[in-house]
């Protein structure tokens, strides 16, 4: 199985300040078609997860542009350019290149300082 | 936008079979190259992929659950279902149904349904 390791596991950020979450995979996530099937999800308290980004860096429709994704191979990053109160929640990375199984990171909890 | 809604019993007895259904709306379960997955979340924990099915019936399961899981698609009802047999307390979780393209696998999520295994 591909192990997804997120860091940090928790993050406390002042409103308006940037935040960054790392996701590392135990194998390269580059698929035979050249894409890296790495998704980022946000799970707000009491809600189901919502996809923010796919193929590492493509933002989903309706996702604010303060969210961005980067990386390739085994190292990926989710950045929030200026944290807002509605960004509180848990963020997960997920790989869909090597399956079964599809695997998730442990999650990173974001809170406001 | 595709919408998903889980349904099924919230309480299952140990050793019995957990059965859930996901109804897909605002889209066809047979469209394109979408795959339809089940994912669960144990209390206060992270996300665990259970498996998926394409509308063709082709499936893939998490090896850790494979011996107990069946996912099937009913195109006539625009639904897909999960059966997990021989359940124990360790199967207590929120179960989500999801849909996504064959590449990214997971895009849309249902609201989730709490399933408790207890006698």
Nearest of A101, A104, A97 to residue A37 by alpha carbon:
A97
So what's the pLDDT on residue B86? 98
Whether the CB of A109 is below 8 Å from some CB of chain B: the reply is no
Residue B104 is nearest to which of A33, A96, A104, comparing CB atoms? Answer: A96
With bands split at pLDDT 50, 70 and 90, how would you rate the model's confidence at B32? confident
The answer to whether the Cβ–Cβ distance between A102 and B46 falls below 8 Å is no
Q: How many CB atoms lie within 10 A of CB B114?
A: 13
- Chains A and B: how many Cβ contacts under 8 Å? 67
Residue A39 is nearest to which of B37, B62, B104, comparing CB atoms? Answer: B104
Q: Which chain A residue's Cα is nearest to B37? A: A102
Q: Report the gap between the CA of B109 and the closest CA in chain A (Å).
A: 7
The answer to whether the Cβ–Cβ distance between B61 and A99 falls below 8 Å is no
Model pLDDT for residues A55-112, shown as the tens digit of each residue: 999 999 999 999 999 999 999 999 999 999 999 999 999 999 999 999 999 999 999 9
Residue A104 is nearest to which of B47, B63, B110, comparing CB atoms? Answer: B47
So what's the pLDDT on residue B35? 94
Q: Are B62 and B48 in contact (CB under 8 A)?
A: yes
Give B70 or B56, the one with higher predicted confidence.
B70
Q: How many CB atoms lie within 10 A of CB A4?
A: 22
B32 phi-psi bin (left φ>0, alpha ψ -120 to 50, beta other): left
List of chain A residues whose C-beta atoms are within 8 Å of the C-beta of residue B40: none
Q: How many CB atoms lie within 10 A of CB A70?
A: 13
In sequence order, what DSSP letters do the residues of B37-103 get, joined into one string?
EEEEE-TT--EEEEEEEETTS-EEE-TTTGGGEEEEEETTTTEEEEEE-S--GGG-EEEEEEEEETT
* Residue B26 per-residue DSSP state: S
In whole angstroms, what is the distance from residue A45 CA to residue B68 CA? Answer: 31
Dihedral angle of Cα B85, B89, B91, B94, to the nearest 10 degrees: 130
Q: Report the DSSP pairing between strands B93-101 and B108-109.
A: antiparallel
């Amino acid at each position: 199985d591909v192990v997804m390791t997120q860091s940090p596991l928790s993050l406390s950020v002042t409103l308006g300040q940037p935040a960054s979450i790392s996701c590392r995979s135990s194998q390269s996530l580059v698929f035979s078609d050249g894409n890296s099937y790495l998704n980022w999800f946000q799970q707000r308290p009491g809600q189901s997860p919502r996809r923010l980004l796919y193929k590492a860096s493509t933002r989903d429709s309706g996702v604010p542009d303060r969210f961005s994704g980067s990386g390739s191979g085994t190292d990926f990053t989710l950045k929030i350019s200026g944290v807002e109160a509605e960004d509180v929640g848990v963020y997960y990375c997920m790989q869909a290149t090597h399956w079964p199984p599809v695997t998730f990171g442990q999650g990173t909890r974001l809170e406001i300082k | 936008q595709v919408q998903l809604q889980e349904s099924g019993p919230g309480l299952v007895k140990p050793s019995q079979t957990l059965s859930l259904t996901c109804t897909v709306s605002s889209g066809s379960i047979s469209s394109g190259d979408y795959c339809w997955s089940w994912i669960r979340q144990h209390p206060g924990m992270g996300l665990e992929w259970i498996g998926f099915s394409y509308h063709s019936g082709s499936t893939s399961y998490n090896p850790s659950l494979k011996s107990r899981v069946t996912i099937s698609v009913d195109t006539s009802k625009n639904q897909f279902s999960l059966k997990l047999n021989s359940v124990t307390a360790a199967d207590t979780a929120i179960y989500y149904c999801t849909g996504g393209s064959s590449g990214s696998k997971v895009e849309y999520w249902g609201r989730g349904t709490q399933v408790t295994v207890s006698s």
